[in-house]
Amino acid sequence: MSISKLQRAAVGGALRGPSERWLVGFEMVISMTNIFQIEARAILEGLKLSWKRGFRQVEVESDNALLIDTIRNDFAENNNTVEIRLIHE
């Protein structure tokens, strides 16, 4: 029997203001199974930090077009990735 190992990944991000001025950054080490989930977690944590700091209108940047498409086109409700559903909420 094979047991799949969770891999550890470092994720992080930065919040910038309207004038592109750096506001705050974050980084963490997480255990995830695939790159899609890792990148979704980074976006989720960035959004949580934004809301905690009082920012309600934010722009998310990512080089993962599939992830952004999934979030923007309401595919999140039917997605098996918990982070995607949390981002949608």
Distance between CA atoms of residues 38 and 62, nearest Å: 12
Q: How many domains does the chain have?
A: 1
Q: What mean pLDDT comes out for the span 12-22?
A: 81
Q: Let me know if residue 1 belongs to a domain.
A: no
Q: Let me know if residue 2 belongs to a domain.
A: no
Are 12 and 28 in contact by the 8 Å Cβ rule? The answer is yes
pTM for the model stands at 0.76
Domain that holds residue 79: 7-86
CB contact burial 33-43 (16+ within 10 A = b; e otherwise): eeebbbbbbbb
pLDDT score at 28: 82
Question: What would the pLDDT profile of 40-86 be if each residue is shown by its tens digit?
Answer: 888 898 889 888 988 888 888 888 898 888 888 866 666 777 888 88
Max mean pLDDT among 23-27, 35-39, 65-69 falls in 65-69
